[in-house]
Chains A and B, each alone.
Chain A
Amino acid sequence: MKLSAIKPVSRVLARELAVTALLLLGVSVVVFGILYLAPGDPLNILLEGQSPRSDLALGMREALGVSRTWHGQYATWFGKLLQGNFGNSIRTGLPVLPELARVGVNTLYLTLGSLAFTLLIAVPIAVHAAAHGDTAGNTVATLVAYIFSAVPVFWFGYIVVYVFIHQLGMFPLISGTATRQGHAWLYFLVPIFVLGIASGTLSEMIRHLREELSRVLAEDYIRTARAKGAPVWRHAFKEGFLIPVTEIMSAKIPFLLGGAVIVEQVFNWPGMGRMAWQAAQDRDFPVIMGIALVAAAFVRLGNLLQRVVFTAVNPRASKE
C-alpha cells in the first residue's frame, strides 16, 4: 500500500468502525428488548443488582434513579454496560463480566482453533476442485464433507471421546480433570477436531471457496497472466483466495460459537458455551445476557477485521 493510499483507506476504515459501532448498538437494543419483554421483569433485578433494596417504595426507587420508562431503563442499563457492569450471576452471585473474561478465552481458543482446522481441510479440496474440475477424488471428498456437515456434533464428539478412551486409554477425559502423563496436549486438540469437522460449516466452506476461485480463474486478467507466462496463483491470490477465505471465516464465526455451546457440553470444556447452557437452565439471565453481548461483539469484531483486509487489498474500496 502506498502512502498516498493511506488517507482514503483510513477514511473507509473509520466508516467501517462507525458501522460496527452502530450494529453493536443495535445488538444491545435487541438484547435489551428481550429482557424488557420477558415475564418476571428481569431488568429490574438486573438494574438494582448491586444493591438490591426491593423493600424501598416506588418513589424512593425513582429517587435513586431507577427509571420506569423503557428508554430510561435502556439508558441506565447501557450505561452500566459501558462501565463493565453486566450484573451478577443469579446462581453464583459473582459479577458477570470478569467471569466471562475468565472462561471466554477457552471458547475463543475453541472457536478459532476449529475455524483453522476446518480451513485446513476445506482449502485443499476447494483449490483442487477449482483448478482441476470434478475429479473422482474431489467429488468423493466433497460428499464426505457433506456427510460430516450433517453429523450431529454431539454424537460425533462422544464417538471421538470413546475412541480416545478405548484406544489411547485416556481415562478421565470426559470429566475434564488431569489426564495421563504425556497425552495431555491431545486433550486440547480433540474438541477442536470435533468442532472443526462436524460443525456443519465444512461443506459450505468448500463450496464457497471453490466457487469463488473458479470464478476468478475464469476472469480475463487471469488469462492475461497466463498469456504472459506469469504464475497464475500470484494473480488469483487476492481475489480468489484471500478475500473468499476471510469472508467465509468471518461469516462462520457465529456458527462456530453456537457449535461451541454443544461441544463444551460434550467435553465439559470450561467455556462461555457451557456457561450459557448453565445460565439457560437456571434462568440466570445476567450471565446469558452477557454472553449474548460478548458473542455478538466477537462476531462483529471478526467482520470488522475482514472488512479491513478487504479494504487493504482492494484498490477500489479506498476510493469510495
Chain B
Amino acid sequence: MRRYVQAPGPIGEYSGLPLWQRAAPLDLVYVGYGLLVVAVVAASYLLGTFGWLPDDPQRVNVALINAAPFTSGHVLGTDFLGRDLQARLILGIQAYFLPGLLAITISVVGGCVLGILAGYRGGWFDTIITYFDNLIDSFPRLVLILLVIAAFRPDMYYIMVVVGITSMPAIASLIAGKIAFLRQKNFIEAAHALGLPARTVILKHILWFNCRALLVIQATLGMAEAILIETSLSYLGFGVQEPTPSWGNMVQAGANYFLQGRFWPSTAPALAILATILGFQLLGDGLNNLLEGKRRK
C-alpha cells in the first residue's frame, strides 16, 4: 500500500526542497554512518599519532589473556598476550591511514589527468588510455602486489603506489564519461565559444563544478579498497609485523585461538575491519545515490 498525499496550499512551495529532505532515507542513513566512521577513523588516527591511547598496546599481561570486554579497565578486552585490544585497534589505524591517503591521492590525480586527456583531447589519446585501462585491469591486484613484493620489498608505501596506479583507470573512465556527457550537452563548446581558456574550462568548469562529487565518491571507495588491501596483506604476513598491531595481523594471530574457543582476539579486529570498510563503502554509495543518481522529480 502506498500513500500519496498532496500537500495543502499552493503548489510550488515545496519545489526545490533541500537535498536532505528529498533524498531516500536509506541513503541518508548510509551517508550518516559513513561520516561517523570517517570521523572515528580520523580521530583514532590522531590519537594513535600522539600516543594518547587508553593503555599501552604492547604491555603484555599474562594474567589477563583473552579477557572479555570490560574486564578490569580494558574496554574491549585483551588479546592472547593480555595486551589491551582497544589500544591495539586504535594503533592499527596507523597502518593504513597514511598509505591509504597516498593511494587515493595517486588514483584521483592520475585518474583526472588520464581522464581529461582521454575525454578532452580524445582521438589517439583516448585509444591509448583505454588500452592502458584494460591493461591495468588485467591483473588481479593482490597478485600484482605480490609480484612487486617479490621483486622489491614489502613496503606498504610501495604497495599503495601500486594500488593507486591500479585504481586510476576506473576514475579516468568516469571522468572521460563525464566529459563525453558534457560535450553532448554542448557545454564544452559553449565554454569555448565564450572564449574561456582551456585550463579554466578543465579545472574550474569540468573538474570542480561537475566532477567533484564523483571524485569524492571515488576517493571514499578507494579508501575502502586500500584498507582491504592493507589488512589482507598484513594477514598474509607482508605488512606490518608483530608486535606492531595491524588489524590484519591481529586477525591472523588471534585465529590460532579459535580451536580453544577464544574468538574475541580475532573477531574484534575483524569487526573493526568490517565496520570501517562498510562505512567507507556505504558513504561512497550513499553519496553516489544522492549526488549522482538519476534525478527523480
Contact = CB atoms under 8 A, between A and B. Distances in A.
A–B contact via C-beta, under 8 angstroms: yes
Interface of A: 22-23, 26-27, 30-31, 34-35, 37-39, 42, 139, 146-147, 149-152, 154-156, 158-159, 161-162, 165, 200, 203, 207, 254-255, 257-259, 261-262, 265, 276-277, 279-281, 283-285, 288-289, 291-292, 295-296, 299-300, 303
Contact of B274 (A147, A161, A262, A295): A147
Given A158-B258, A285-B151, A276 B278 contact: no
B138 A299 contact: yes
Given A147-B278, A258-B142, A296-B138, A152 B232 contact: yes
Given A150-B281, A276-B143, A23 B131 contact: yes
Contacts of B146: 261, 276-277, 279-280, 288, 291-292
Contact of A257 (B143, B151, B266, B278): B143
A34 B135 CA distance: 15
A261 B258 contact: no
Interface size class of B (residues with CB under 8 A): 35 or more
Contacts of B266: 155, 158
B278 A150 contact: yes
B238 interface: yes
Contacts of A255: 140-141
Most B-side CB within 10 Å, residue of A30, A31, A276, A285: A276
9 contacts: A23-B134, A23-B138, A42-B151, A150-B278, A203-B281, A262-B142, A265-B235, A289-B147, A303-B138
B176 interface: no
Contacts of B150: 279-280, 283-285, 288
Interface string B270-297: 1001100110011001000000000000
Interface in B203-254: 224, 228, 231-232, 235-238, 248, 251-252
Interface of B: 26, 131, 134-135, 137-144, 146-152, 154, 224, 228, 231-232, 235-238, 248, 251-252, 255, 258-259, 263, 266-267, 270, 273-274, 277-278, 281-282, 285
Given A280-B150, A280-B236, 12 more contacts: A27-B138, A146-B278, A151-B270, A151-B273, A255-B141, A265-B235, A276-B142, A277-B236, A279-B146, A292-B143, A295-B140, A299-B137
Contacts of B147: 31, 34, 280, 285, 288-289, 291-292
Residue of A154, A257, A261 most packed against chain B (CB within 10 A): A154
A173 to B, nearest CB: 11
B134 A146 contact: no
Contacts of A146: 278, 281-282
Contact of B270 (A152, A161, A285): A152
Nearest to A36: B151
A154 B235 contact: yes
A156 B139 CA distance: 25
Contacts, number: 147
B151 A139 contact: no
Nearest to A283: B150
Nearest to A34: B151
Give chain A's interface secondary structure class.
Answer: helix
Q: At the interface, is chain B mostly helix, strand, loop or mixed?
A: helix
Between B151, B236, B259, B282, the greatest number of chain A beta carbons within 10 A of the residue's beta carbon is seen for B151
Given A146-B281, A280-B238, A154 B152 contact: no
Given A146-B278, A147-B278, A150-B277, A281 B237 contact: yes
A292 B236 contact: no
A155 B255 contact: yes
A150 B30 CA distance: 14
B142 A261 contact: yes
Given A254-B137, A276-B143, A152 B281 contact: no
Contacts of B236: 261-262, 265, 277, 280
Contacts of A154: 232, 235, 248, 251-252, 255
A300 B238 contact: no
Given A23-B138, A162-B258, A254-B139, A152 B231 contact: yes
A278 to B, nearest CB: 10
Given A139-B26, A254-B137, A155 B251 contact: yes
Contacts of B277: 150, 152
Contacts of B135: 23, 26-27, 30
A255 B282 CA distance: 19
Given A23-B134, A261-B143, A151 B152 contact: no
Contact of A254 (B138, B259, B267, B285): B138
Which has the most chain A C-beta neighbours within 10 Å: B231, B252, B255? B255
B232 A292 contact: no
Contacts of A38: 151-152
A285 B152 CA distance: 10
B5 to A, nearest CB: 19
A162 B161 CA distance: 36
Nearest to A284: B150
Given A147-B274, A150-B277, A288-B147, A254 B141 contact: yes
Nearest to B238: A280
A147 B281 CA distance: 10
Contacts of A161: 258
A222 B143 CA distance: 43
Residue of B26, B142, B259 with most chain A CB atoms under a 10 A cut-off? B142
